């Protein structure tokens, strides 16, 4: 009888705990963002551009963190932050996205929730002002994970998400870079002078300890044939699991897809029992580097540890907690 009572007590106790989840209600809300990794150096920006990029990252951090401090979910914070960056002309996402070989814009985005592994993505959308909202709608309002092309645009319209003409995404700077790329006659790989991956992404932890990750991009300059990179692919460019971490990537997407890069970081933590820092560094420097691929990653684990790594000259990045905010635009020494 004593053993039955002990077993009953144990089962009741276990019933009040969710294994693999970080459920501390007083968790410090944390948000981390990137605005792309690549050949990003101070000489590439005017003083005014530098101020505007910094301000956009700061606004994105503040918008996302406010959602968290107000008690909002991690995925809503991710969307709030990424929308700010999609609306800025200084990143390869939303307004300011690169152009295809045909001279138009095809945008990709994804989001994932760590509490239940739900995810949503859109690829090749052309009229959706904020692709990250489309990804969120796919996750919450459909039983699919990814929609692409005309179907994704039609779904976004059915969800009453804001639509724009494709020309809205064009900026004078992007148009000039596109013209230069056409003159050089390349399609892939990107020329060294223009190899700046402005993909944007965000990872967050809310007050309940739940994680989420999101990524948004315009893809590669001068891309052809409906090319899709890693950003809308769950496990490649985006991944979140409360048991391990939340990840958003930026870089040469074909290589991230081949590695299942974001999921691999999570797997190292889950199966290798290593720290977030070790998992990120191993995947980036021991797996991606040998492929001679370029890029970066931001990641946040269930305990609030942050990693922001890249193997390029620079990466726009920043993070914010209740007590601290940090923003960096260039190399690791800055």
**160 vs 157: CA distance, rounded Å:** 5
**248 vs 123: CA distance, rounded Å:** 16
Out of 126, 170, 199, 283, which one is annotated catalytic? 199
**200 vs 219: CA distance, rounded Å:** 11
Q: Which two tokens stand for residue 308?
A: 């922001």
Q: With contact defined as beta carbons under 8 Å apart, do 308 and 34 qualify?
A: yes
User: What DSSP line would sit under 100-163, residue for residue?
Assistant: -TTS---EEEEEEETTT--EEEEEEESSBS-HHHHHHHHHHHSS-SEEEHHHHHHHHHHTT--B
**332 vs 141: CA distance, rounded Å:** 40
199 catalytic per annotation: yes
Q: If we measure between CA atoms, which residue out of 65, 118, 57 comes closest to residue 93?
A: 57
Q: If we measure between CA atoms, which residue out of 296, 185, 178 comes closest to residue 237?
A: 296
Q: Does residue 208 come out as left (phi exceeding 0), alpha (psi in the -120 to 50 range) or beta?
A: alpha
Question: Which sequence positions are flagged as catalytic?
Answer: 199
């Amino acid at each position: 009888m004593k053993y039955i009572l002990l077993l009953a007590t144990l089962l009741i106790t276990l019933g009040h705990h969710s294994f693999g989840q970080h459920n501390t209600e007083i968790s410090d809300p944390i948000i981390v963002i990137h605005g792309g990794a690549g050949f990003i150096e101070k000489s590439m920006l005017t003083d005014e551009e530098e101020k505007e990029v910094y301000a956009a990252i700061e606004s994105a951090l503040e918008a996302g963190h406010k959602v968290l401090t107000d008690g909002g979910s991690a995925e809503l914070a991710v969307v709030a932050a990424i929308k700010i960056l999609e609306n800025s002309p200084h990143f390869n996402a939303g307004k300011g996205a690169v152009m295809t070989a045909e001279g138009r814009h095809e945008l990709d985005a994804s989001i994932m929730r760590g509490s239940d592994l739900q995810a949503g993505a859109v690829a090749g959308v052309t009229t959706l002002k904020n692709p990250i909202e489309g990804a969120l709608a796919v996750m919450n309002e459909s039983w699919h994970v990814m929609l692409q092309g005309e179907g994704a645009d039609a779904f976004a319209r059915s969800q009453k998400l804001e639509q724009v003409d494709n020309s809205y995404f064009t900026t004078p700077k992007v148009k000039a870079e596109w013209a230069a790329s056409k003159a050089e006659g390349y399609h892939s790989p990107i020329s060294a002078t223009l190899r700046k991956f402005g993909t944007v992404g965000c990872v967050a932890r809310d007050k309940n300890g739940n994680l989420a990750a999101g990524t948004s991009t315009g893809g590669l300059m001068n891309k052809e044939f409906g090319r899709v990179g890693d950003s809308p692919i769950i496990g490649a460019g985006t991944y979140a699991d409360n048991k391990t971490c939340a990840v958003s990537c930026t870089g040469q997407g074909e290589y991230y897809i081949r590695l299942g890069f974001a999921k691999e970081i999570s797997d190292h933590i889950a199966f290798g029992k290593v720290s977030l820092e070790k998992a990120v560094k191993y995947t980036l420097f021991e797996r991606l580097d040998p492929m001679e691929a370029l890029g970066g990653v931001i990641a946040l684990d269930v305990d609030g540890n942050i990693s922001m790594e890249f193997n390029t000259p620079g990466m726009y990045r920043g993070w914010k907690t209740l007590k601290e905010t940090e923003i960096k635009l260039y190399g690791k020494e800055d």
